[in-house]
Each structure stands twice: as structure tokens, then as C-alpha cells.
């Protein structure tokens, strides 16, 4: 289940169900908001603002219908100076997918690079193949979603784009990932995550606000 929540980027953390109840971790990381994605989630702590998503870790689950709403919740919290924990049960599939959608919106990186950005901080992340497909399809509407986010919630931060692309660029693809990834569930590859053909994004290609 991991060794605690992990900081994906400033203001955004990824973890599991246990982390969401660990007051010490919540205090240490100054968590103010939680996105909970699992079966029948409910608010636990009075001093935390929650976004609860009732969704199973199934390839058939339509998690993409929550991408925009969760992204707005996360972005608003971060703009207000808060820290957001996104969690499911294990902090591997559902919560990672939501974090990836947000990363794609604010940075414009390729969907599989968004997974790498999460994996850089939390090695066990591995969205199921259905969620990966939904992230891939989400790319087609990113521009409009980004515009809506800016208009509805507030501006993007150029430092976020820089941070994420540096995380992706520094990812060590020489790691032995075969044992960590469900290779049958990863789109487009039968070996390692790094072998998938991805689009590298540099700062000059990132979307402008």
C-alpha cells in the first residue's frame, strides 16, 4: 500500500485510503482538501474540504466524466494556497488517473508522460488500461478544458509546467519496471513503460494561458 502519501507537485499529493485518515501525515503536509475516489466515499475529517467520487477500479468505469470537476476542485484549492491529497484505496490506479488528467490540463504533456510525472514521485502508480484509454482520449479536448479551467477557476502557473516537464525529463527509464507494471494493461507495449512511444514536450511547446 506504500509508505505514505507522495508529493506529485507543489500543492498536489497522491496516496491511499490509509493516508487520508492519518492525521500526522495530513498535518505534516498541510493537507486542506481531499479528492477521494473509491466505493461510496464519505467525508472523514471536519477540517478538510472533500470531493468524493464513487467509482470502482474497473476498466469499464467512466472515470473521465469526473476529470474536469476534479481538476477545478484541485486547481481552486491550489490557487487559494491549499494542498490537495488525491487518494483511492491503494493510491495506484483511480487516484493516479485523476492526477494525470489535472497534470495534462495545466501542462499540456502527453498522457503517458503525465503518468511518468506521477511515477517519478510514487513508483507504484499504474492506472488500469481502461483509465489509460480515457486519458488518451482526453487529449483531444484538453485545449477547451484548459480554457474553461482558466475562465472558471483562475490562471495557470508557468512554474507548474516547468516543474512537471523537468520531472518527466529526469525520469530514469533504465529502471527495471517490468516487475512494477501490469504490462498487459498498458496500452501499446508488451514490455516496459519506457518502451511506449511518447511525445516529449519542452517548455517551448507548452500551452500559453
pLDDT at residue 172 in the model: 63
CA dist 19 and 6 (Å) reads: 10
Kindly name the residue from 88, 99, 100, 118 that is annotated as catalytic: 88
pLDDT for the residue 29: 98
In the predicted model, residues of the chain with pLDDT beneath 70 are: 1-2, 172-209
pLDDT for position 199: 38
How many Cβ atoms sit within 10 Å of the Cβ of residue 78? 23
Q: Cα–Cα distances in Å, from 40 out to 29, 43, 54?
A: 25, 10, 5
Would you state the pLDDT for residue 122?
Answer: 96
pLDDT digit string, tens, across residues 76-90: 999 999 999 999 999
d(CA 38, CA 18): 13
Among residues 140, 134, 137, the alpha carbon closest in space to that of 59 is found at 134
C-alpha cell at 11: 500543492
**Domains in the chain, CATH or no CATH each:** 6-187 (3.90.190.10)
pLDDT at residue 2, as a whole number = 52
Helix 129-138 vs helix 94-107: angle between axes, to the nearest 10 degrees? 20
pLDDT score at 201: 37
Predicted TM-score (pTM) of the model is 0.84
What was the pLDDT predicted at 3? 78
pLDDT of residue 208: 39
Q: Which residues contact 46 (CB under 8 A, 6 or more apart)?
A: none
pLDDT in tens, 12-43: 999 999 999 999 999 999 999 999 999 999 99
Q: What is the DSSP string of 86-115?
A: EE-SSSSSHHHHHHHHHHHHHH---HHHHH
Phi then psi dihedrals of residue 28, to 5 deg: -60, -35
Q: Residue 173's pLDDT is what?
A: 56
pLDDT given for residue 180 in this prediction? 42
88 catalytic, yes or no?
Answer: yes
Pairwise CA distance, residues 137 & 131, whole Å? 10
pLDDT of 171 reads 78
For 141-179, letters b (16+ CB in 10 Å) and e give ebeebbeebeeebeebbeebbebbbebbeebeeeeebee
Amino acid at each position: 500500500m506504500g509508505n505514505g502519501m507522495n508529493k506529485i507537485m507543489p500543492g498536489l499529493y497522491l496516496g491511499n485510503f490509509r493516508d487520508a485518515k492519518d492525521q500526522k501525515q495530513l498535518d505534516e503536509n498541510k493537507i486542506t482538501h481531499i479528492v477521494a475516489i473509491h466505493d461510496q466515499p464519505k467525508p472523514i475529517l471536519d477540517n478538510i474540504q472533500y470531493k468524493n467520487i464513487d467509482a470502482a477500479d474497473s476498466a469499464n468505469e467512466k472515470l473521465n466524466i469526473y476529470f474536469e470537476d476534479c481538476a477545478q476542485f484541485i486547481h481552486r484549492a491550489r490557487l487559494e494556497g491549499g494542498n490537495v491529497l488525491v487518494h483511492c484505496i491503494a493510491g495506484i490506479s483511480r487516484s493516479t488517473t485523476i492526477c494525470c488528467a489535472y497534470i495534462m490540463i495545466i501542462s499540456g504533456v502527453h498522457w503517458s508522460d503525465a503518468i511518468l510525472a506521477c511515477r517519478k514521485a510514487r513508483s507504484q502508480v499504474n492506472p488500469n488500461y481502461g483509465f489509460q484509454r480515457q486519458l488518451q482520449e482526453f487529449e483531444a479536448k484538453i485545449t477547451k478544458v484548459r480554457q474553461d479551467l482558466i475562465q472558471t477557476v483562475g490562471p495557470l502557473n508557468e512554474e507548474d509546467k516547468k516543474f512537471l516537464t523537468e520531472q518527466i525529463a529526469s525520469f530514469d527509464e533504465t529502471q527495471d519496471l517490468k516487475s512494477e507494471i501490469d504490462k498487459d494493461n498498458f496500452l501499446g507495449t508488451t514490455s516496459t513503460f519506457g518502451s511506449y512511444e511518447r511525445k516529449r514536450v519542452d517548455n517551448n511547446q507548452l500551452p500559453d494561458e
